[in-house]
Structure 1
Amino acid sequence: MQRKKFVFIFFGFSFFMIFAFLSIIWYRDPLHLYHKPYSCKNEIWDNMRLASAGLIKHYDFDSIIFGTSMLENSSATEASANLGGKFMNLSLSSSDFYERALILDFAFKHKNFKKIIYSLDANKFLEQQKGNPNYALSEFKFLYDKNPFNDIKVYFTDEFLKKIFKFGKKYQCKNSNFDRPKAWFKSKAHSVRFGGFENWLKYKDNWQIKNSFKDIKNAVSKINNNKIQSLENLDEQILKSKQYVDEYLLKFVSQNPKTEFYLVLPPYSRLHNAIEFHTKKRDFLVTKEVLRYLVEQSQIYKNLKIYAWGDTDYPDNIANYKDLTHYSHKFNSQMLLYLKDGTGLLTPQNFDKYYAKFEQKSREFDLMPYYEKIKDLTE
């Protein structure tokens, strides 16, 4: 009799503890997977690969900004004012088309979207990338599958358990910016590098600046030694990139004819363009042909528009950039105005003219003044 009583108490206590454990997780729910939060109501988790699932399920919006760090500074409020709809910025830092497709597939099951602004990051389709090594797919992919019951396992990590089981003053909430949750432009580590190449030199120990200087040095070395990227397998690379775009992007365009897609080619610095043009001929040509292909598809799918501003003077001014590719947040605002009035819209009629000017600017840009300033710097 005593043994039965002990077993009953043991299992009863175990059940109570499990129930209490799961109840606290459900109540705190920092990713908003099950409901809008009862605590930390203004907090969005820093990792948007994890946070997007709950935002999609439980928040009211009908349009999204969905890119990489190139669109993280874009204001949802400004997008709504300029283009209509109710925007949310779900941009994922360094995300490829495959990762975004996982989330888009999930998103379209929960919402009818009016508009999507999407960054066409060329390096992703050039490499046909499927997952970023810094963000393991196993850590978030299950949040976007067809099984809602496995979502809870995301909380069984040290990071989340420490957050969830802190009480009182130890449980600190962040006030997130719902307008642009992952905006980085206000961070001093980023903002101090805008304004000119001399600021790059001041912060030469920054990893993005180190990589930029390395790219400049490598480019000059390749040019001097005639070690330019071969055009071998060019047609094969174009085909693979088109297939990647078809599978992870254009399928959403074709399946959702009532959703307007604005695909924007980020205006990387002219310094970056020159490096690509002079040392990565094949990649440069693949990007051109994939972009041409997308422009052609925009004539088939009336809900698709392609925008690019690489022929303007903006990329010529290095003061607009904190490294080779990341532009000022002011252009994110300008971009939305351009989308509103159609500036930069590519069509079959203007594509060749656009690319001729873009290529000319890239070809004629002088790398040497920048190389001279960094050639004696050591790693």
Structure 2
Amino acid sequence: MKENKMEKKNRTYRNLFILFVAGMLTIAVVFAGTIIYVDPFFHYHAPLKGFPYVVDNQLSQNPGMARNMCYEGCIIGSSMTVNFDTDDFKELLGTETVKLSYSGAYPKDDYNILSIVFDESSYARQNCPVKKVFFAMDIPTMTADLETTKYPLPEYLYDANIVNDVKYVLNKDVLFQYIMRPVVQGKGSDLSEIYFSWWTPDYYNIQWVMHTYEEPEKVEKELGAEELIPQTEENLKVNILPFVEAHPDTEFYFFFPPYSILYWHNVMQENTFEATLKQYQYVADRLLPYDNVHLFYFQDMEETLDLNNYADYSHYKPEINRFMVECFKDGNYEIHSSEEMAKELSKMRQMIDGFDYNELFSKEW
């Protein structure tokens, strides 16, 4: 009798354990199935019509958008690109465009996302070939290490390994922050304005810029004029030019973002002025020979002299982003030859020489 009771007790425990495991597996399947179906990071498919997707995570959501959305053009680069409104590209250029910005992007970040953009094995690319790439060429990042990214990447969202997708499909933050929260709030992101900077119009003024500005320490020894070129060449050769060469039917719109005149004060404080000008000329000379490249130099715009157009030494008003799209259309500020680039850099030198930095720094802000 005792043995029978023990067997019955063991059987009860065994059944409870099986029920527990089955329950946990059911919860996991429902959990993962919900994430796969909604797919807030677009890892498996394009957005579901009508779902209020929240798009605010560049590292996690850019690869899915690049892989699975249908678009004709893409915006590549640092925070210099976040204030582009993709509706402007549709209105002015007739191009359906997706924004794939990475704040502080290094060339390797650009390489990583362009590798996905041009992955012809994806269903989206087979049906929506990329016709135009709008690429912010940030000269200060061109000396970064070839393999360095600005931030560590969630590799499971970038690779083709299905096994490590468990980090995505069983991620409670994904479920609660990117599915449950937008459902409850009933409001998602406007995909044309994703990643917009947090600055409101009130922050774009000289008082705010100067109040928050941190002047670099003065470097006494000047950097040699050629010292920035070798690493710049390596980054061009490894991380950027392969895409230009492999896709001659895609137009690449490279542009030097219009940093403010205060950016050049930083360059002079760091004593890299001549080396930086040489670097700009070198990049232009490497890009211009390609028939599918358009190059724009926006840094000698008159607007760069007015710090009321900025929220810090480099980040400009969204109105300037729209103006650049207008230039992509009509060709203003486009560079067609090495000689034209040299002329623009000479103009830039004159603007810097003529700017009264002493007056700027003599005031109490």
TM-score (norm 1): 0.81
CA distance 1:190–1:285, shift in 2 (3 Å): farther
CA distance 1:280–1:364, shift in 2 (3 Å): farther
Deviations 1:167-202 (A, max 9, x none): 8x9843432111121122xx4x4421224x23446x
Question: C-alpha distance in 1, partners of 2:73/2:138?
Answer: 20
CA distance 1:285–1:254, shift in 2 (3 Å): farther
Larger Cα Rg: Structure 1 or Structure 2? 2
In structure 2, stretches of 5+ residues that fail to align are 1-6
Question: Counterpart in 1 of 2:237?
Answer: 246
Question: Counterpart in 2 of 1:230?
Answer: 222
Give the drift of 1:358. Answer: 0.6
Structure 1 segment 29-178 matched on structure 2, within 5 A: 29-37=39-47, 41-109=51-119, 110=122, 111=125, 112-128=129-145, 130-132=148-150, 135-137=151-153, 140-157=154-171, 159-163=173-177, 166=180, 171-178=184-191
Give the drift of 1:166. Answer: 4.4
Deviations 1:270-304 (A, max 9, x none): 1222331x22333x334333332332233431111
Give the drift of 1:266. Answer: 0.7
Question: Counterpart in 2 of 1:264?
Answer: 255
Deviations 1:59-118 (A, max 9, x none): 221211122221111121211333333211222222222112111101211322100101
CA distance 1:254–1:87, shift in 2 (3 Å): same
RMSD of the TM alignment (CA)? 2.8
Question: Counterpart in 2 of 1:349?
Answer: 339
Question: Counterpart in 2 of 1:255?
Answer: 246
Q: Secondary structure at the match of 1:73?
A: coil
Corresponding letter in the other structure for 1:60: C
Deviations 1:310-336 (A, max 9, x none): 223121111111111111111111111
Contact 1:25/1:164 (CA < 8 Å) preserved in 2? no
Question: C-alpha distance in 1, partners of 2:277/2:165?
Answer: 40
**Percent of aligned positions that are identical:** 23
Question: C-alpha distance in 2, partners of 1:357/1:258?
Answer: 33
Corresponding letter in the other structure for 1:55: M
Corresponding letter in the other structure for 1:183: F
Contact 2:221/2:271 (CA < 8 Å) preserved in 1? yes
Q: Secondary structure at the match of 2:193?
A: coil
Question: Counterpart in 1 of 2:277?
Answer: 288
Contact 1:67/1:118 (CA < 8 Å) preserved in 2? yes
Contact 1:71/1:91 (CA < 8 Å) preserved in 2? yes
Question: C-alpha distance in 2, partners of 1:177/1:332?
Answer: 17
Question: Counterpart in 1 of 2:322?
Answer: 333
After TM superposition, the structure 1 stretch with the greater mean CA deviation from structure 2, 318-327 or 8-17, is: 8-17
Contact 2:54/2:178 (CA < 8 Å) preserved in 1? no
Q: Residue 203 of structure 2: which of 176, 180, 193 is its match?
A: 193
Give the drift of 1:36. Answer: 4.0
Q: Secondary structure at the match of 1:360?
A: helix
Question: Counterpart in 1 of 2:29?
Answer: 19
Contact 1:126/1:287 (CA < 8 Å) preserved in 2? no
Contact 1:106/1:145 (CA < 8 Å) preserved in 2? no
Q: Secondary structure at the match of 1:301?
A: coil
Question: C-alpha distance in 2, partners of 1:229/1:51?
Answer: 43
Corresponding letter in the other structure for 1:136: P
Question: C-alpha distance in 2, partners of 1:321/1:368?
Answer: 19
TM-score (norm 2): 0.84
Q: Give the aligned length.
A: 346
Corresponding letter in the other structure for 1:253: V
Note if 1:183 corresponds to 2:196.
yes
In structure 1, stretches of 5+ residues that fail to align are none
Question: Counterpart in 2 of 1:303?
Answer: 292
